[in-house]
Chain A
Amino acid sequence: MKDEIRDELENSPFLRKMKERQTEGFQVPNNYFRHLPNEVMHKVKEPLPAPTPQLSWQERIGQFFQGLLQPGFALALASVVVLVVAGVIFFKDKNTTIAQPAVAEVKLEDISDEELFAYVSDNINDYNHEQVLEATGDKIPELKPKTKQPSLPKIKAPKPETKEIEEYLDQSIDEIDLEDLEEML
């Protein structure tokens, strides 16, 4: 060991002690350095991988269409097209089924009074009492007070009997003018 290095290691007993040793512990395989040049020459003679050429935009477009013709991609594309066409046909049929049939237009003047009366009688249950009374110009009296008066004793409004209401409605229907009925319908 050189003296100057020994001096530099003055404060490092471990490194000084290790420096006195003749070996570092490393070994190499037998004849490694004899065989190495041939291995390296073999590697040197291997052809370099060809650099990737820069393509122009025309070549890139051409390459894209060539890619479309590859079996895997073409199969996937064909599947998508079949699915789209099937979807269009399916939904087209569904729309046709849902479509309402055309309704023949009938003018109100063509309907006789008897027919109108019969229609109203048959479908009287489709109208609530209020609609019927509105059509005749009357209103059902309010059964419950809208606002409560806490200071006053509670007075319940008399509950009209169903029979009474039916009688009232029958009477009202009788009074309905045909013109009003036309307006209602």
Chain B
Amino acid sequence: MEILKEEPLPPEVPTLVLPNTEDVMKLGDRLDGVRLIILDFPKFTDGRAYTQARLLRERLGYSGELRASGAVFIDQLPFLLRCGFDSFASAERGFGEALAKARTLFSVVYQPTGDGRATANELRLARRSAVAA
């Protein structure tokens, strides 16, 4: 299995491995000091971990490494990145190259998430006020 991540971490980091049925809002002090959270995709069609990821990033302010593992394939990457995953355990061939491209596959996004990308609406508003100014 090939582990891809943007910033490699030393092997003994405090880690939390969570099933996708875990209510992340109830983790409480189990999150303290954690630097790696591994979320599971038992099947790639089971999308519960996307919600877990957004809650961890956007509601709980988790800023450590967030890894997608299990049934993780190239075509999920644009969604995974937008939900705050920054590390991926995938056995699929060509995953590394796909990851490099995934950020620019779509130049436009409509939904505000915690990934910091400006949405189409934000860009439209900025453009209108620039024209007005």
- Whether chains A and B associate is no
**Interface on B for A, CB 8 Å cutoff?**
none
**Interface on A for B, CB 8 Å cutoff?**
none
